[in-house]
Amino acid sequence: MKTKTITIKHTKIIKCKDCIACSENYCEKLSSLGLNLIWYNDKKIPVNGSLSIDHGHGIYDEDGNYRRRDETLRPHTFRIEIYEEDENPNTHHTSIMKKPSKIPTEKQCLNCLN
């Protein structure tokens, strides 16, 4: 599956105590670009990609492995995967993956996340 990856690291601190509500909020913001994104894979509806968020609460070791959570506020990092082709459910996933009608630019995504 070909994807376009957009990684955005916020420069400002976003206060989020509920990672689920935060993730849903940012998926909703990105939907204004015509993207139906998932941040967890339990929906059996057509999706245009996925959203992964580092909410800035984790402590990682030098190899990038998560070690523990802390309450220090840090900028969020967003990783947006946008499908560049269609794919039906198979043994690897249950989602219907659809290329969006228009793939947004990094700048458009950044504007939505601010």
Instruction: Give the residue extent of every domain in the chain.
Output: 3-113
Average of pLDDT values for 13-38? 87
Q: How far apart are CA 69 and CA 58, in angstroms?
A: 4
Question: Which tops the pLDDT comparison, 72 or 29?
Answer: 29
- Number of neighbouring beta carbons within 10 Å of residue 33: 19
User: 3-state DSSP call for residue 30?
Assistant: helix
Inter-CA distances, 112 with 34, 58, 107, Å: 12, 24, 9
Handedness of CA 30, 31, 32, 34 (dihedral sign): positive
Is pLDDT of 102 > 90? Answer: yes
pLDDT for 42 equals 56
Average of pLDDT values for 19-29? 89
Average of pLDDT values for 4-9? 92
Model confidence over 42-101: pLDDT tens digits?
A: 556 788 999 988 887 767 777 767 666 666 777 889 999 999 999 888 887 777 889 999
pLDDT for 19 equals 82
